[in-house]
Structure 1
Amino acid sequence: MRPLRAALVALLTAAAGLLPTVAAVRMSASANDAAERAASLRTPALLIAPDAAAQTESRISAPPLLRAERAPDVLWRAAQQHHIGEEMTAFSADWPTPNCLAIWIGGTEVFAGGAEPVIPASVQKLITAAAALTVMDPQERLVTQVLSDAEIVDGTLDGTVWVVGGGDPLIMTQSYADSHRRQPQLRTPMEKLADDLVGLGIETFTGRLIADESRHDTVRFPETWPQRYVTQLNSGPLSALNLNDGITGYTTTLSAAQHPARWFVSTLADLLRVRGVSVDVEIAVSAAPSGLTEIARLTSPPLAEIVQQMLRESDNTTAETLLREIGLRSAGQGSTPGGAAAAERIVSDLLPDQMRPAVVDGSGLDRQNMVTCSFLAALLNHFGIESNYATGLPTAARTGTLSHRFGEHPAAGRLHAKTGLLNGVNALAGHVVTDSGTVTFAQVLNGVPTHGRLGLELQESLAAQLLRYPVGDAAALQSLARPVS
């Protein structure tokens, strides 16, 4: 039994001994009866007797810790929790297994079904987002620097130029951004870097153009992934200096850069040529030495917006790049294993009372990621619906990976949740805005048939059910007695 539920039971037991009227409300009674009984309770304050006469005055003057005026709210929450527990246990009885479901209302977990960790699929990105926003300033912008050991003389730059990657996952050309189905795409415009260099008065560029991707390691894909993820390009090849997700071909079929950083600077040279600059340089990849002069920089959108893009679009490349940056910032290791260990520690520190998740990658593609629904819902509750964190969640029938779903459903525009999908896995976790407040939830289904819509249908029925739950005072409990529509 969870500590909060145990405390609630102890409180009701104590109230039953002191107030027979309270004891008369049985938790097996109907929700409507419990609400009416709670609303009728108006009894004197319950005060602990003073231990000595000298303490009497201070005890009387101090605000009582428990007043019977609060008993209706206590009973309302207890009855609500009992009702939801019974209802959701029956509601989820036929779901594929293993599965889990957690529901929070008013900052309290009112239902937790399925205590064992499950495979979260892309809902894992909630963990990556939480770790990123914890270890980094949400307003920080990631910087790609252009450094040189030479000066521009009479329009000529003759020397060596390094382009130093800052871990920005959203550097894109306009044509690549336009190729995405959902528009507009948040991006760091590659063309701006070329424009800024031309703006320095460069007409001729000779010498060397070197890519520096040393901020992160150069393992292109998480080593725990199966080869099919690489072949299918579920993520682009990873680099601290990356362009277009490392995707070189995207008009007909996808193809990836074998050396993303080299391809970045080669594309930069081409963009300069298009802008009339004569470019004759040797392309290379190496770490930049110290003591160079910055001649240009390219800054990303604020980190909060990058995180929101990752959640809204379920962007695997962004998630994996951010995980490496988390590892660099918190443990000095810009690698997938370093980032996974750091993210696991960071989010566990945020929720010390929850079962620690197993973090293997940032995107949720790896089936070794494991987490409980209680952890996911508690994480959502920790940040809240008004946070930078929740702002990135897709909205049903409106944005991101939910833009094409729930169109004729009552949850349209009211459901804000991260989606997850792998073979045999359907997951949904976020917030449902009801007429009276917000219900926070996490649902993860493992063992879902690979064909058909069962997983999606169970998400849709859950969203409809959560819309019924009231968020408020004891009087609202009466609405729980309404049949499911």
Structure 2
Amino acid sequence: MTIGTSEQRAVGVPVRAQAPTPARARGRTRLGRTLLVAALVLVPAVTMTAGRASAVGGATAADRTDAARLKARFPVAGLGSGRVGTVVDVGSGRTVWSSAAGTGRMPASAEKLATAEAALTVLGPGHTEQTRTRYHAGTLYLVGGGDQVLTAGGLKTLAAATAKALKQRGLKVTALRVDDSLFPAPTAATTPPGWQRGYYPLEVAPVRALGLGGARVNDTALAAGKLFAQQLAAAGVRLPSSGAPKRGTAPDASVALASHTSAPLSRIVEHMLKVSDNNAAEGLLRLTALGRGKAATWKEGSAVVRSVLAGYRVPLAGVRIYDGSGLSRSDRMTASALVALAALAVDPRYAARLRPVYAGLPVAGRDGTLAAGMHRFSTRPSSCAAGKVHAKTGSLHDADALVGVTLGKDGRWKAFAFVTNGDVPATRARQGLDGLAATVTGCW
């Protein structure tokens, strides 16, 4: 069992509650900007001058202590023989400690860090998507724009605006079609390698360009169309009894009626990382491909992600990417690559672009997939690190990961990546991962 959407259920954060309805969108967007500015002010910047000096002078006393403790604790942390890990001082780039850091492992949902950073780089934090309605010869088209966190409320507002436009133009609707053609239809040929048949629809829905966030159905577009038809009826637009939604592509000659704007990408990334939303991650992978003028497929999206990571000088030897969520059992990430992704989240050179990654990382013992209610950082010895560690979790039935950042005892940013693959009880593995992260903070 993967956690992805099951993580969302345990966290108790329904996806549909994350994206604002249009009536609230502007306020939430302003809130997002406020949070971003606050993060830039409150999160200590990496002191590059101190980092260079430290790099010349060698490891700090805190780093030497951490390295000695990790050397002793890592082998007995309950992670099994498939364990790998590394810790890096972000300012200097110096490795504090590592073990098999170049060995590829299934990263599970920790791979979402790569998806998030690629999407923010290609599309920009303020990027939004549009869900539109168009009309042609009696047929109304609901056109998906790739918004993976579209809410029922947002769809209702779009229905009301559409009904108003139809009335103003004196247009009669005889049929409703859903247009999700922005993404290729999900088939066996378009499914990422390494995805198991049992993933659908609870862990991830077949990837489409139209659907309600969190919808756990095999055809998210038709499900959204059915709800939209009900909302249209409530707004005074009644379809014929034979007018149940079907799939269809809006012709070029169709007329635009209304649109709904998604939350900004910064907010979607924060949500996706905080609750480990598989559907959002897969949608972002395909939108990232489109942003580079490529086809909206896992293959093209993964190629763009690799290109972006290479631009950040993330080491890619041993890295294999087949999706955006980390569900693929063919995915491989090294601890060296993962720690580089974590370091980017607090690198001041990329703050304007990548700060939503830091904002979206679950906080130890506080929220998201690291909430105390999920038994993370809630007991000794790791409880001393509650509120201090910001990290992305990852979990498959035989893989666990914790990748993130924290301020070390020396007041400097440390990035860490700990991953294990193999038949290790999840509870024991996660307790071990939390303890190692606490070691990096210097509180244990």
TM category, shorter: 0.7 to 0.9
Offset at residue 416 of structure 1 (A) = 0.9
Q: Indicate how the Cα distance of structure 1 residues 345 and 273 shifts in structure 2: closer, same or farther if over 3 A, else same.
A: same
Answer whether contact 1:123 1:427 (CA < 8 A) is retained: yes
For 1:61-80, list aligned pairs within 5 A.
74-77=56-59
Answer whether contact 1:207 1:282 (CA < 8 A) is retained: no
Normalized against structure 1, the TM-score is what? 0.70
- Specify which of 420, 423, 438 is matched with residue 464 of structure 1: 438
Comparing 321-330 with 360-369, which one deviates more in the overlay?
Answer: 321-330
For 1:275-294, list aligned pairs within 5 A.
275-280=235-240, 281=243, 283-294=245-256
Q: In structure 2, what is the Cα distance between the partners aligned to 1:321 and 1:72?
A: 41
Gaps (5+ residues) in structure 1? 1-69, 151-158, 175-188, 248-255, 469-483
- Specify which of 217, 221, 235 is matched with residue 184 of structure 2: 217
Q: In structure 2, what is the Cα distance between the partners aligned to 1:279 and 1:237?
A: 28
Answer whether contact 1:322 1:362 (CA < 8 A) is retained: yes
Answer whether contact 2:130 2:262 (CA < 8 A) is retained: yes
Q: Which residue of 1 aligns with 2:359?
A: 391
Answer whether contact 2:398 2:421 (CA < 8 A) is retained: yes
Answer whether contact 1:120 1:420 (CA < 8 A) is retained: yes
- Specify which of 407, 410, 431 is matched with residue 378 of structure 2: 407
Q: Which amino acid aligns with 1:194?
A: A
Q: Which residue of 2 aligns with 1:360?
A: 322
Point out the structure with the larger helix share: 2
Answer whether contact 1:448 1:455 (CA < 8 A) is retained: no
Q: Which residue of 2 aligns with 1:339?
A: 301
Answer whether contact 1:205 1:278 (CA < 8 A) is retained: no
Comparing 289-298 with 198-207, which one deviates more in the overlay?
Answer: 198-207
Q: Which residue of 1 aligns with 2:421?
A: 446
Q: In structure 1, what is the Cα distance between the partners aligned to 2:262 and 2:141?
A: 18
- Residue by residue, what CA displacement relative to the aligned partner does 1:144-192 show, whole Å, maximum 9, x if unpaired? 1111236xxxxxxxx2222221111011225xxxxxxxxxxxxxx2222
Q: In structure 1, what is the Cα distance between the partners aligned to 2:314 and 2:108?
A: 23
- Specify which of 125, 129, 144 is matched with residue 142 of structure 1: 129
- Specify which of 186, 189, 199 is matched with residue 229 of structure 1: 199
Answer whether contact 1:144 1:168 (CA < 8 A) is retained: yes
Q: Which residue of 1 aligns with 2:226?
A: 266
Q: Indicate how the Cα distance of structure 1 residues 84 and 410 shifts in structure 2: closer, same or farther if over 3 A, else same.
A: closer
Offset at residue 79 of structure 1 (A) = 6.0
Higher relative contact order (CA 8 A, sep 6+): 2
Comparing 373-382 with 281-290, which one deviates more in the overlay?
Answer: 281-290
- Specify which of 87, 91, 106 is matched with residue 103 of structure 1: 87
Offset at residue 427 of structure 1 (A) = 0.4
Offset at residue 72 of structure 1 (A) = 7.9
Offset at residue 431 of structure 1 (A) = 1.3
Normalized against structure 2, the TM-score is what? 0.76
- Residue by residue, what CA displacement relative to the aligned partner does 1:413-432 show, whole Å, maximum 9, x if unpaired? 11111001111211001112
Q: In structure 1, what is the Cα distance between the partners aligned to 2:125 and 2:302?
A: 20
Offset at residue 452 of structure 1 (A) = 5.6
Q: In structure 1, what is the Cα distance between the partners aligned to 2:365 and 2:298?
A: 34
Give the RMSD, CA atoms, in angstroms: 2.5
- Residue by residue, what CA displacement relative to the aligned partner does 1:343-392 show, whole Å, maximum 9, x if unpaired? 22321332255535210111111111101111111122123176121111
Structure (1 or 2) with the larger CA radius of gyration: 1
- Specify which of 442, 455, 459 is matched with residue 429 of structure 2: 455
Q: Indicate how the Cα distance of structure 1 residues 357 and 121 shifts in structure 2: closer, same or farther if over 3 A, else same.
A: same
Q: Indicate how the Cα distance of structure 1 residues 135 and 445 shifts in structure 2: closer, same or farther if over 3 A, else same.
A: same
SS at match of 1:279: coil
Offset at residue 82 of structure 1 (A) = 5.1
For 1:123-134, list aligned pairs within 5 A.
123-134=110-121
Q: Which residue of 1 aligns with 2:159?
A: 194
Q: Which amino acid aligns with 2:139?
A: T
Paired residue total: 368
Offset at residue 433 of structure 1 (A) = 3.3
Q: Which amino acid aligns with 2:149?
A: L
SS at match of 1:261: helix
Q: Which amino acid aligns with 1:393?
A: L
Q: In structure 2, what is the Cα distance between the partners aligned to 1:117 and 1:466?
A: 22
- Specify which of 130, 140, 144 is matched with residue 165 of structure 1: 144
Q: Which amino acid aligns with 1:111?
A: W
Q: Which amino acid aligns with 2:369?
A: T
